Structure 1
Amino acid sequence: MKTYKEHLKIANLTLDGYFNYGNVLQRYAVCNLLMGLGAEVESLWFSPQAGFLPYLQSHYPWMKDSWDWKTWVKLGINWKGITGNLFSGQNAWESARNAGIKSFVDRYIPMRYDVDFAKVADEYDYFVVGSDQVWNPNGDIDFSYPFLKFSSPSKRISYAASIASPEIPVKKKDIFIEGINGMKAISVREQAGAELIEQLTGRKVEVVADPTMLVAAEKWREIARKPSWLKGDEEILTTYFLGKRPDEVINRLAMEHGLKVVNILDEHVFEHYAVAPEEWLWLIDHAKLMYTDSFHGTVFSILFRRPFVVAERIGDGCVNKMTSRIDTLLGKFGLEARRGTKENGYMIDTPMEIQYGDVEAMLAKDRQRAEAYLRRALDLDKK
């Protein structure tokens, strides 16, 4: 009879890419969570290709996998013009940011790219999908991967999967229901997702914490790194916005308190735009004030116990999908007063001061709940 710690092997799948800090930090956290239970873990890349060609295709849709040799010769002849566009301006900045994120993945996440999904089912004891929007029905993802259909139902588990949609399109509803019914164990990260699954299938599923919250702050600090371009002992106001920044408020606060503003993803400052995940963590941890409209920007502000303001997302035609999720997070820790809204001008009273309750006690409960769920899903207590 095999012993768990010696032989249990688990594969994790989530959204592929090197484009988003929250995505790769979630991937790291899920792997860390599973390895903390004593398992050997690998994270599988399920997108058709990993590497330079998909990047080119994402920026130049006319590129095809099925080119013949003559087309590749033409590409070589015109390469100077293509690279002049590809590696100039914002494309070069995005390339640098993607490279920094991939470097983080290479160092801290046990990735496997060369996966033959027609044969992989017998190579692992379990497959765990999540976190992130792996079950979002509005994208173009082949649902056979996020629902782990390449493996037997007894091996299919989700951790903190997100549907990120209030409903399933009619044309995908049967596929979605079949996928849910084929899972051995399911946990999601939002109550709305659990309610939608129960409505569609009658199946009650667990709601668990975002995996990044289950990694201790000190462990995150072990991999954080101060940006080399940040000199001396400058005190900083860090921002991380996926929508528009309320710059007037931010700049006024920085001036009043003598802070240097570091706008992560600032399209006008290369160093700020292309920060690596390790630097992203450091810039939040060392912020005298953190301003964000991001869920994970808020999560790490809480983990590092920083003063922060979380603003409603701003932008033309922007739908603030994070509102409910962030409001739930703030309510859990009694931090509802940290909300910056259009009504209060994205400014709260005494933004530089914050009172945290017993955050660690709440996080400890989340960790216990997550571990209990995974132990049941992985049949650990039966081994």
Structure 2
Amino acid sequence: MKTGIITFHRAINYGAVLQTYALQMYLNNYGYDAEVIDYRCDYMENFYKIFSVKNKSIKQVIRGLMNFGYAYKKKKAFYRFLNQNVKMSAKVYNKSNIRESNYQYDKFITGSDQVFNYACSRFDKNYFLDFVESSDKKLSYAASFGMQSVPGEYVEEYKRLLSTFYELSIRETDGQQIVKNLLGKETELSVDPVFLLKAEDWERLAKKPKMEHYILIYKLNTSNLIFDFARKLAKLTGAKIVALNFDVVDQIKTPDIKGLHSASIEEFLGYFKYADYVVTNSFHGTAFSVIFHKNFYVEALQKDFKPNDRVESLLNLTELNTCKIKTLDDCKLNVNRDFDVADSQITKQRVKAKQYFERVLNEN
């Protein structure tokens, strides 16, 4: 039985690529014939262009030109990782030919990532498996909505799309509630695929950085807290501060922090693995801090400063809510982090995932 996975595998985003790798690797490790469908979404391809002047202000154009070299190097490293480590379809698909994949796969899985968030792909319904001809073949794994409710104008279309799935596995409790509100049905709650692999699996990929004794910042959303928190932590510990996802302008604004402008996937894993401390507001930043048993601090807020349900769900699951920060007063060294409990909970989730895949991929 051959399974095709559709996800945001070409996003220049560490979490997106790592969850892609993890799901495909996990399924093949357990004997399933799985590969990533090399689908090119027009909107996302344009979004992750290295440089574009379309709909950009003069300041944005100048910033793009200043960072062109770093952006090119980073994108090249991401696609090298995919080509070397992820089994992908030989055929490249787009909106005009994606239906042809019906002849290639016995089952289709969408997820993880925010594949059910209309805003991420400009509501490309292929991420909802709308191209799949048989409902019996349509599955999700740890699919995320990335929102607490579906806007009114999209409700009917979401109902139509989600009702055609044979089985739904969702990543957050808010997502489960969305499905229940729309369809009146319960769904499987599943962990992100990065947790399906063990720490030693990730360590084999990690590239050890040259520096030692550092505080790692991995920030996706605007934050008034994270930099100042890391600075206070540095004063308490004497550790240096380094930051992933920095660009030239970030470096000019914050010269006291060493920016990592174009880290590869392997370097990303290495910086987490060997960090003394991690300060983040990213879900996958939190995930790899848990996997590698780091002294981490997480601001659980989204871009709009609303609670980040993905992070909140993970902290609740692993019983690591003590790592959540809201103010500089939370900068303390004696934080209790019981990784034995966290590991135990994640092991249980791996068992659940194994049972889920055995059920949905072994059925005719």
TM bin, normalised by shorter chain, reads 0.7 to 0.9
TM-score (norm: length of structure 2): 0.85
**Amino acid corresponding to residue 76 of structure 2 in structure 1:** A
Larger Rg: 1
Instruction: Give the superposition deviation at 1:21.
Output: 0.6
Instruction: Say if 1:176 and 1:58 are closer, same or farther in 2 by CA, change over 3 A.
Output: farther
Query: Does structure 2 retain, via aligned residues, the 8 Å contact 1:339–1:348?
Result: no
Aligned equivalent of 2:296 = 308
Between 49-58 and 360-369, report the one with greater CA deviation.
Answer: 49-58
The one of 4, 9, 26 aligned to 2:19: 26
**Amino acid corresponding to residue 253 of structure 1 in structure 2:** L
Instruction: Work out whether 1:129 is the aligned partner of 2:113.
Output: no
d(CA) in 1 for partners of 2:46, 2:181: 41
Instruction: Give the superposition deviation at 1:246.
Output: 2.9
Instruction: Work out whether 1:219 is the aligned partner of 2:184.
Output: no
Instruction: Give the superposition deviation at 1:47.
Output: 2.5
Q: What secondary structure sits across from 2:181 in the alignment?
A: helix
Q: What secondary structure sits across from 2:340 in the alignment?
A: coil
Q: What secondary structure sits across from 2:204 in the alignment?
A: helix
Q: What secondary structure sits across from 1:45 in the alignment?
A: strand
d(CA) in 2 for partners of 1:274, 1:335: 30
Query: Does structure 1 retain, via aligned residues, the 8 Å contact 2:50–2:72?
Result: no
Equivalenced residues, count: 345
**Amino acid corresponding to residue 230 of structure 2 in structure 1:** I
Aligned equivalent of 1:37 = 30
The one of 336, 353, 356 aligned to 1:373: 356
**Amino acid corresponding to residue 331 of structure 2 in structure 1:** M
String of CA shifts for 1:109-133, please: whole Å, max 9, x gaps.
1123512313110111111000011
**Amino acid corresponding to residue 89 of structure 1 in structure 2:** M
Query: What does 1:1-383 align with in structure 2 at a 5 Å threshold?
Result: 8-48=1-41, 56=49, 59-61=52-54, 88-112=65-89, 114-115=92-93, 116-151=97-132, 152-227=134-209, 230-231=210-211, 234-242=212-220, 243-244=222-223, 246-267=226-247, 268-269=250-251, 272-313=260-301, 318-321=303-306, 323-342=308-327, 344-350=328-334, 354-378=337-361, 380=362, 382=363
Instruction: Give the superposition deviation at 1:139.
Output: 4.3
d(CA) in 2 for partners of 1:192, 1:165: 7
d(CA) in 2 for partners of 1:248, 1:195: 36
Instruction: Give the superposition deviation at 1:42.
Output: 1.6
Instruction: Say if 1:103 and 1:18 are closer, same or farther in 2 by CA, change over 3 A.
Output: farther
d(CA) in 1 for partners of 2:18, 2:45: 22
Between 326-335 and 203-212, report the one with greater CA deviation.
Answer: 326-335
Instruction: Say if 1:134 and 1:347 are closer, same or farther in 2 by CA, change over 3 A.
Output: same
Instruction: Say if 1:276 and 1:321 are closer, same or farther in 2 by CA, change over 3 A.
Output: farther
- RMSD over aligned Cα atoms: 2.8
Instruction: Say if 1:40 and 1:273 are closer, same or farther in 2 by CA, change over 3 A.
Output: same
Query: Does structure 2 retain, via aligned residues, the 8 Å contact 1:308–1:338?
Result: yes
**Amino acid corresponding to residue 216 of structure 2 in structure 1:** T
TM-score (norm: length of structure 1): 0.81
Q: What secondary structure sits across from 2:25 in the alignment?
A: helix
Instruction: Give the superposition deviation at 1:305.
Output: 0.8
Query: Does structure 1 retain, via aligned residues, the 8 Å contact 2:24–2:34?
Result: yes
Structure 1 residue runs without a partner (length 5+): 1-7, 63-83
Query: Does structure 2 retain, via aligned residues, the 8 Å contact 1:340–1:348?
Result: no
Instruction: Say if 1:356 and 1:52 are closer, same or farther in 2 by CA, change over 3 A.
Output: closer
**Amino acid corresponding to residue 288 of structure 1 in structure 2:** D
String of CA shifts for 1:16-73, please: whole Å, max 9, x gaps.
43321111111111112221331222211323469997755972338xxxxxxxxxxx
d(CA) in 2 for partners of 1:355, 1:104: 33
Instruction: Give the superposition deviation at 1:189.
Output: 0.4
Q: What secondary structure sits across from 1:371 in the alignment?
A: helix
